[in-house]
Amino acid sequence: MNGPDLWRTAALLALLALGTLWLVLRGTGTRQRIAHRARAGVARSANEYAPSAGAGSVPQRLAKRVATLGEHMPVIDAAHRMKLAARLAGAGFRERRAVSVMAGLKIVGGACLAIGAIVVGGHVPRIGEYFVFRVLMMAGAFIVGMMLPEYALGFLIRRRQKAIAAALPDALDLLVICTNAGNSLVVAVRRVATELNTICPALADEFSVTADELRIGGDSAVALNAMAARIGLASMRALVTTLVQSQQYGTPITQSLRMLSRTERSMQIIALEEKAAKLAPKMTLPMMLFIMPTVALIAAGPAVIRLIAVFHK
């Protein structure tokens, strides 16, 4: 079998795989539409606006299709799913099918890059003629495509942590005010979540979830530690430790929160001073590359022009 025949065989296999995937998604989508119509028929008797609300937008329908793909084609085991669910919660995605959507995105990303590698691999000079190279390129592109959602998730987690860390001192000050007013921990956390809703939605969302867990009942230390585990910041762990110890030993919570707020603001000031101190070394290379040649040209340019004119006479 020569090179063109191998290329046609690989393209045919790719088309067959895409056709099978489309048939699977179409079948599952049909069953979902039937179940959705049954649920909408039940809800229609209770609320006349239920059909329009349940229709969903295009991104929602696309997310459902991707989640269905992740459920029918699992690429991660149960332990990895639990770890991935914890990371998704840290990024603010606590939906029931968030793990399935993530698994589906990994498959879709890998498939898209693999198809792109198949298309581009044949046009690579010299080595693109070999079928083994195209297969290796397709496998590498598929692996890279499956890794891209993980990197995107890590970026979202870091950005969310940075926003929470910036708004945490203000939240501590609000907690101090609420506890000084005589509010309980649940009421104080709920009030702070309401006030921070426009300033830092991520921290407000975490406080709202924690307030709901505290209101439901059970051990408050478990709910607070769960919030610290979701956020993953050392400052949040310090806040949770302060609250738990205050509840266990009966120490005044207001003074502890005030001291913690001062510490957080001091740490932010130290971090800003550290960035300011690093600015001068970072500016050295751009100055040498862009500013110093311009200054030298302006300073020495007229003298060089005069010397050239003198030697040409």
Q: How far apart are CA 43 and CA 280, in angstroms?
A: 64
User: 3-state secondary structure string, the chain?
Assistant: CCHHHHHHHHHHHHHHHHHHHHHHHHHHHHHHHHHHHHHHHHHHHHCCCHHHHHHCCHHHHHHHHHHHHHHHCCCCCHHHHHHHHHHHHHCCCCCCCHHHHHHHHHHHHHHHHHHHHHHHHCCCCCHHHCHHHHHHHHHHHHHHHHHHHHHHHHHHHHHHHHHHHHHHHHHHHHHHHHHHCCCCHHHHHHHHHHHCCCCCHHHHHHHHHHHHHHHHCCCHHHHHHHHHHHHCCHHHHHHHHHHHHHHHHCCCHHHHHHHHHHHHHHHHHHHHHHHHHHHHHHHHHHHHHHHHHHHHHHHHHHHHHHHHHHHHC
Residue 3 CB contacts under 8 Å (≥ 6 apart), including other chains: 129, 130, 131
pLDDT, one tens digit for every residue, the chain (313 residues): 454 554 555 555 555 555 555 554 444 444 444 344 434 443 443 343 333 334 456 677 777 777 776 676 665 667 777 888 888 888 888 887 888 888 888 888 888 888 888 888 777 777 777 778 888 888 888 888 888 888 998 999 999 999 998 888 888 888 888 888 888 888 888 899 998 888 889 989 999 988 888 888 767 888 888 888 888 888 888 888 888 888 787 777 787 788 888 888 888 888 888 888 888 888 888 888 888 888 888 888 888 888 888 887 6
Whether residue 76 contacts residue 103, with contact meaning beta carbons closer than 8 Å, is answered with: yes
- Give the end-to-end CA distance of the chain in Å, rounded to a whole number: 76
CB 17 within 8 Å of CB 73: no
Largest CA distance in the chain: 101
Is there a contact between 168 and 47 (Cβ–Cβ < 8 Å)?
Answer: no
Please check whether residue 257 lies inside any domain of the structure. yes
| Number of folded domains that form the chain | 1
Please give the C-alpha separations between residue 50 and each of 63, 64, 109, in angstroms, as whole numbers.
20, 19, 34
Distance in angstroms (rounded) separating the CA atoms of residues 99 and 134: 32
Residue 44: the pLDDT is 42
For the chain, the residue count is: 313
**In a domain? residue 216:** yes
Tokens of 157: 């987690």
pTM value?
0.68
The answer to whether the CB of 233 falls within 8 A of the CB of 164 is yes
pLDDT of residue 159: 92
Report if residue 141 sits inside a domain.
no
Q: Which domain holds residue 245?
A: 163-267
Does residue 179 belong to any structural domain of this protein? yes
pLDDT of residue 15: 59
Tell me the Cα Rg of the chain: 29
